[in-house]
Structure formats: structure tokens, C-alpha cells
């Protein structure tokens, strides 16, 4: 048998090594890419096994009548949080101008831009406990939905709602609630409310005049409508007020 020269033997091994080099580089390249990729950190569970998520965002409507400007400013200072959004409505024009100047003068309110003062003539007059009050709340919710994103609950406050719990405590409590939780439970079992709420005839003066006044209840009663069914909302209250 003829023995191959050493040079031919080396060439054969070199050729085999070149053929195997692509196969050897695959695991090396995969290991290098895996080391360079950042590690996926699992979500940190809260106490009780719940996953951490951002706190909910609350949308506030703060309303007041003529002369309530100072009380609304006091309420905003206690109520403000950069995470929330606020719509402020006051009846008096002088109070409205002062509130706009107050919002422009506060550094935090200007920085986050989450406080909106209702412009002059944007809303019609409102009577307490009348249909115009309900219309104002629905209009406020639509404005907040249009101008601020991502809020979960709508809270209606007046200038007399003071003092309040700290916003950090409120957000902490709400963070444990499902975001689709509704605090208004609709029911057709109205009971005594049929005679005291559905049958009385009321007149809302704010529909006709610009001054804010109370609704007028007549002595006559109307019959319960038969063309549709009346539903009422039972509000589950949440204590936001603290003790002095």
C-alpha cells in the first residue's frame, strides 16, 4: 500500500476542518447572542400574590357657585395629584377668572397640565337636584373623556366637600379594585322612590333663567308612566372624607 505524503495528509484534515467550521460556529453564535440579550424580569408580585400594576387614574369634577372661588382653591390644593385629572366649574365670572389665574400660577398644575377650568359660556346654569345638574355631570364626563385619557373612575365634588383623605391613600385603596367596577347599581325595584321621586312634578328654573336657583316642586302628582320602566341607581359610597 502506497503511503500518502505528509503534505497531502495535512491538506485533507484542513479541508475537513473548513467544512465543519460553519457547524461549529452555530452554537458559539447562539451562546453569544443569548448572553447579550437582556434578561426577562418577571413582574414583581404584590403582597397576597397580586401582580404590580400602575395605580388607577381618577377624574374629578369640582363645582361651585358664585363666591366659592376660595373654597375651590382650598379643595384643589388638598385634592391635587399629578396622576389624576380635574375639571373645575364655578358659576361667578370673577371667580372663574381668579381660578384660571390660580391654575396658571401654580407650578405643579402648569407642569402636568391636568387641571382644566371651564370657559365662560361653556356650560348652562345648573340647579341643585334638578335635571340641569345631571346634564352638567354627563357633560363633564364627556369633556374628561375627550381631553384626558386613561382614567378609570369619575368623582363629583362640590366646593363644600372638605377635608379629604390624601390622594395617595385614595389611589392606594383604588389600586386593589377591578378597573371595571361600577359603583352605581341599576335596579327597577324603586319601592318608595316611586311616590317621592318618580311621581312629583318639578320645575328647573335653570332651564329658563341664568341665575342658579333651587328646583320648584308642585303639589300635584303625575301617574307612573306605563310606556317605559323606571330604573334608579343605587350608589355605593366610598368614604373620601377625613375627620378634623
pLDDT tens sequence across 68-82: 999 999 999 999 999
| Confidence at residue 209, expressed as pLDDT on a 0 to 100 scale | 76
| Confidence at residue 19, expressed as pLDDT on a 0 to 100 scale | 52
In a domain, 99, yes or no: yes
Nearest Cα residue to 60 out of 209, 167, 199, 163: 167
pLDDT confidence bin for 8, thresholds 50/70/90: low
For residue 120, what are the domain limits? 58-179
Q: Is the pLDDT confidence value at 67 over 60?
A: yes
Describe the crossing of helices 93-105 and 69-79 by its angle, rounded to 10 degrees.
30
In a domain, 209, yes or no: no
In a domain, 223, yes or no: no
Q: Which residues pair with 87 in a beta bridge?
A: 61, 116
Q: In this predicted structure, which of 3-17, 169-183, 229-243 has the lowest mean pLDDT?
A: 3-17
pLDDT confidence bin for 85, thresholds 50/70/90: very high
Query: In terms of pLDDT, which residue wins out, 207 or 66?
Result: 66
What's the pTM? Answer: 0.70
Q: Is the pLDDT confidence value at 50 over 80?
A: no
In a domain, 93, yes or no: yes
| Confidence at residue 165, expressed as pLDDT on a 0 to 100 scale | 86
Q: What is the CATH number of the domain that holds 128?
A: 3.40.1380
In a domain, 71, yes or no: yes
| Confidence at residue 38, expressed as pLDDT on a 0 to 100 scale | 42
| Cα(237)–Cα(170) distance, integer angstroms | 13
In a domain, 22, yes or no: no
Q: Give the CA distances from residue 87 to residues 37, 92, 113, 132, 226, in Å, rounded to whole numbers and listed in that order.
A: 45, 16, 11, 17, 38
Average pLDDT over every residue of 186-201: 81
Task: Say how many domains are in the chain.
Answer: 1
Question: In Å, how far from its chain's centre is CA 42?
Answer: 27
| Cα(132)–Cα(61) distance, integer angstroms | 15
Average pLDDT over every residue of 52-74: 90
In this structure, the strands spanning 200-203 and 85-90 are unpaired
| Confidence at residue 72, expressed as pLDDT on a 0 to 100 scale | 95
Q: Which residues pair with 85 in a beta bridge?
A: 59
In a domain, 244, yes or no: no
Whether the Cβ atoms of residue 59 and residue 154 lie closer than 8 Å to each other: yes
Whether the Cβ atoms of residue 125 and residue 159 lie closer than 8 Å to each other: no
| Confidence at residue 52, expressed as pLDDT on a 0 to 100 scale | 62
Average pLDDT over every residue of 52-58: 84
In a domain, 237, yes or no: no
Amino acid at each position: 500500500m502506497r503511503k500518502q505524503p505528509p503534505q497531502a495528509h495535512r491538506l485533507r484534515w484542513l479541508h475537513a476542518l473548513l467544512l465543519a467550521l460553519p457547524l461549529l460556529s452555530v452554537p458559539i453564535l447562539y451562546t453569544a447572542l443569548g448572553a447579550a440579550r437582556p434578561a426577562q424580569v418577571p413582574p414583581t408580585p404584590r403582597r397576597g400574590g397580586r401582580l404590580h400594576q400602575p395605580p388607577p387614574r381618577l377624574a374629578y369634577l369640582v363645582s361651585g357657585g358664585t363666591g366659592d372661588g376660595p373654597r375651590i382653591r382650598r379643595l384643589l390644593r388638598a385634592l391635587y395629584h399629578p396622576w389624576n385629572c380635574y375639571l373645575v366649574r364655578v358659576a361667578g365670572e370673577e371667580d372663574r377668572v381668579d381660578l384660571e389665574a390660580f391654575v396658571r400660577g401654580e407650578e405643579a398644575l402648569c407642569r402636568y397640565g391636568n387641571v382644566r377650568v371651564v370657559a365662560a359660556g361653556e356650560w348652562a346654569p345648573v340647579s341643585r337636584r334638578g335635571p340641569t345638574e345631571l346634564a352638567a355631570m354627563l357633560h363633564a364626563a364627556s369633556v374628561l373623556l375627550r381631553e384626558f385619557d386613561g382614567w378609570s373612575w369619575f368623582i363629583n365634588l362640590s366646593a363644600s366637600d372638605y377635608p379629604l383623605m390624601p390622594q395617595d391613600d385614595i389611589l392606594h385603596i383604588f389600586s386593589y379594585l377591578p378597573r371595571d367596577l361600577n359603583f352605581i347599581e341599576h335596579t327597577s325595584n324603586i319601592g318608595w322612590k316611586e311616590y317621592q321621586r318618580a311621581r312629583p312634578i318639578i320645575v328647573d328654573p335653570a332651564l329658563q333663567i341664568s341665575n342658579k336657583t333651587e328646583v320648584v316642586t308642585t303639589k300635584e302628582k303625575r301617574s307612573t308612566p306605563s310606556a317605559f320602566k323606571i330604573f334608579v341607581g343605587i350608589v355605593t359610597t366610598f368614604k373620601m372624607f377625613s375627620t378634623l
